[in-house]
Amino acid sequence: MEKFELHILGCGSALPTTRHFPTSQVVNIREKLFMIDCGEGAQLQLRKSHLKFSRLNNIFISHLHGDHCFGLLGLVSTFGLLGRTADLHIYSPKGLEELFSPLLGYFCNNLLYKIYFHEFVTNKPTVIYDDRSVSVTTIPLQHRIPCCGFLFAEKQPPAHIIRDMIDAYNVPVYELNRIKNGADYITPDGEIVPHSRLTRPSSPARKYAYCSDTRYVESVIEQIKGVDLLFHEATFAQAELPRAKETFHTTAQQAAQLAKAAEVKKLVIGHFSARYEEENILLNEASAVFENTVLAKELLCIEV
């Protein structure tokens, strides 16, 4: 099975604590790294995760609150110090380029690589990235400012060649890619050998959904239906529901209700309020509704 991993770099909320870094994650799909949000300290956590800086070419920013983007300038600068030459693409709601351009011009004016900012709308799902391995679609959320989550949908891997059958029919090497991608094989004598006889199906394509920051919105359910892994913010416990509503955040119980309604396979909760010295209160609350729930924590790696 091809690699598809989620690395948690930080899972705290806006107020700093000694327990958590601000929000940042890295998705590793077939050794391509995609960063989601870039709070302060993200590059330090990237080092600790033993992930290669050179494989990170795309960064997705959910919204323009500092705890989700204050780490960008340091990361961009470090890339420069490392002699990076590959382009860097940053996707965000409108406004990030305008905010960061003066800082980049002052602190990072001798970069050997180019930075491209891509703005996306936040009121409808939009495909903002697509390659042979994965597509990334925005998930409209409801926060105090324009905000989107992200749906990472793996492309179906090619079928696996059955080596014994390939040898039995003396299939030339140059035919293998066609066969893996669904073509039948025609022998020199004109016999048609079905694709299904020469291959076995690859593993099902997987999906990861990221939803932070947002109030409880049932409109996301259809878009995240059946995903293999869902990260959903759980800033507060249910006892703080009025505060959650006021700040456009979600409780752990509400996150679990969404996971259950969407029939996801696994839920990881994070973006914890600094008021909780012990997050098990949030885990217990969510697990009572959706059993397959885990707490996010720094340097946690989850295989999708």
Give the tens place of pLDDT for each residue, 165-218.
998 888 889 889 898 888 998 989 889 988 889 999 888 999 999 999 999 999
- Specify the pTM: 0.92
pLDDT at 78 over 90: yes
The beta-strand segments (E) located in 11-126 are 24-29, 32-38, 56-60, 88-92, 115-119
When pLDDT is averaged across residues 123-137 and rounded to a whole number, the result is: 97
- Locate CATH 3.60.15.10 in the chain: 4-157+203-303
pLDDT at 225 over 90: yes
pLDDT interval class at 2 (50, 70, 90)? confident
The confidence score (pLDDT) of residue 1 equals 78
pLDDT interval class at 42 (50, 70, 90)? very high
- The question of whether 67 is a catalytic residue gets the answer yes
**Angstrom distance (rounded) from CA 213 to CA 233:** 6
pLDDT at 159 over 90: no
Eight-class DSSP state of 67:
G
Helix (H, G, I), strand (E, B) or coil at 63: coil
- Is residue 138 within 8 A of residue 126, CB to CB? The reply is yes
The confidence score (pLDDT) of residue 201 equals 86
pLDDT at 92 over 90: yes
Residue whose structure tokens are 């456009």:
248
How far, in Å, are 147, 210, 247, 276 from residue 123 at the CA level?
9, 16, 19, 32
The confidence score (pLDDT) of residue 181 equals 86
When pLDDT is averaged across residues 36-54 and rounded to a whole number, the result is: 96
- Is residue 173 within 8 A of residue 222, CB to CB? The reply is no
- Is residue 218 within 8 A of residue 203, CB to CB? The reply is no
The confidence score (pLDDT) of residue 280 equals 96
pLDDT interval class at 51 (50, 70, 90)? very high
Residue 126: which residues within 8 A CB-CB, separation 6 or more? 120, 137, 138
Mention the CATH class of domain 4-157+203-303.
alpha beta
> One of 67, 87, 164, 228 is an active-site residue; which one?
67
**Angstrom distance (rounded) from CA 133 to CA 22:** 28
Residue whose structure tokens are 């000694």:
18
Pairing between strand 115-119 and 127-130?
Answer: unpaired
